[in-house]
Amino acid sequence: MNSLSSLEAAEKVVYLTILDFNEKWAERKLRGFAEAQEVLQRMFNVTINHIL
């Protein structure tokens, strides 16, 4: 006997598992990103100012 009663139940388990992973990974900080973020922000500002 299957532990999941239907395809819909399996989809719900997968969906909820993905939501859980997304919440956990959204909180993570990448090593070195803080330093790179400042440089990227300046590059973005220069680029966007040329466009506008």
Distance CA 46, CA 44 (A): 5
Distance CA 32, CA 29 (A): 9
> Coil, helix or strand for 40?
helix
Per-residue model confidence as pLDDT tens for the chain (52 residues): 466 678 888 899 999 999 999 988 887 877 888 788 889 999 999 888 888 7
Please check whether residue 11 is in contact with residue 4, taking contact to mean a CB–CB distance below 8 angstroms.
no
**pLDDT score of 2:** 60
**pLDDT score of 41:** 92
Say how many residues make up the chain.
52
**pLDDT score of 45:** 92
**pLDDT score of 4:** 60
